[in-house]
Amino acid sequence: MESVLFLLSIHVDMHSRTQDENSLTPLHLATLSGCEMIVRNLLLADGAAIREVTPQKQTVLHLAALHDQPPLASIFLENGVAYDAPDNDLNNALHVAVKEGHLSIVRVLLTESQINAGAVNMRGQNPIHVLANYPKDNAAAIAEVFLEAMPDYDLNAIDVEGNTALLLAYKRGASQLCKILVRSGVCLGTTNKQGVNIFNLQ
């Protein structure tokens, strides 16, 4: 911490980047380390650093979501991070959080920001599709947080292959998530572009 304060006192460039393929800024590195005090000091020194993205176009909010750092996500939201920013795959931070199964981050994003929870990535998948496609043990709990925050969420949306979240969850054997989706009134018989639905899946 003292070395960081020293660097800030001599006005080190907050936009300088590591000289490797990751090309990370000091704020990116502080986010990865999870050190709230360093993050706060870097933002105090240069609030514009929050707009810097990685070569994959990930913001510090994406990184906080990826590494399960809810306090840092809250700090970034308080400091005006572009919460809807897409990365190279058109995933916003919510896509990242659900893919990793980070329930606390999902809760922060849905309750402390106006993030577009229906945004679709390059595969035409919204965050619930991603949750169903990469289900972790807490997938059902994450779905419940979504439904609590957004009771009118479109659970019948299809991705570019015509898959619904229910079909993806069923394919992956995520039975608890399937139960939540069915209980929420999803359409059971939607068939994807390969002619597959939950009734004829082999």
What are the tokens at 105?
């981050």
> Which segments within 27-81 are labelled E, that is strand?
none
Residue 165 confidence (pLDDT): 98
User: What burial class does residue 180 get, using C-beta atoms within 10 Å of its C-beta: 0-12 exposed, 13-18 middle, 19+ buried?
Assistant: buried
- Same-domain status, 133 and 197: yes
C-alpha torsion 55→103→179→84, nearest 10: -40
Which one-letter DSSP state was computed for residue 68?
T
In a domain, 70, yes or no: yes
- Same-domain status, 76 and 138: no
Question: Would the pLDDT of 157 be above 50?
Answer: yes
Please give the residue range of the domain that contains residue 178. Answer: 117-202
Which one-letter DSSP state was computed for residue 192?
-
Residue 41 confidence (pLDDT): 85
In a domain, 105, yes or no: no
Q: What angle do CA 88, 89, 95 make, to 5 degrees?
A: 120
- Same-domain status, 62 and 5: yes
**How many domains does the chain divide into?**
2
Q: How many Cα atoms sit within 13 Å of 199 on the Cβ side?
A: 6
- Same-domain status, 152 and 202: yes
Question: Would the pLDDT of 73 be above 90?
Answer: yes
**CATH label of the domain that carries residue 59:** 1.25.40.20
- Distant-in-sequence, close-in-space partners of 199: CB < 8 Å, separation ≥ 6: 188, 189
In a domain, 101, yes or no: no
- Same-domain status, 48 and 124: no
> Residue with structure tokens 């990793």?
100
In a domain, 40, yes or no: yes
- Same-domain status, 131 and 201: yes
End-to-end CA distance of the chain: 56
pLDDT digits over 28-38, tens only? 888 999 989 98
pLDDT digits over 94-127, tens only? 999 999 999 999 999 999 999 999 999 999 999 9
> Residue with structure tokens 């849905």?
110
- Same-domain status, 75 and 121: no
- Same-domain status, 140 and 202: yes
Separation between Cα atoms, residue 5 and residue 107, nearest integer Å: 32
pLDDT digits over 183-202, tens only? 999 999 999 999 999 999 87
| 201 φ/ψ angles, rounded to the nearest 5 degrees | -65, 125
- Same-domain status, 76 and 126: no
- Same-domain status, 48 and 5: yes
In a domain, 89, yes or no: no
Kindly indicate the confidence band of residue 4, based on its pLDDT and cuts at 50, 70 and 90.
very low
Give the predicted TM-score (pTM) of the model: 0.89
What are the tokens at 13?
């460039």
- Same-domain status, 76 and 7: yes
In a domain, 26, yes or no: yes
In a domain, 99, yes or no: no
- Same-domain status, 77 and 124: no
In a domain, 100, yes or no: no
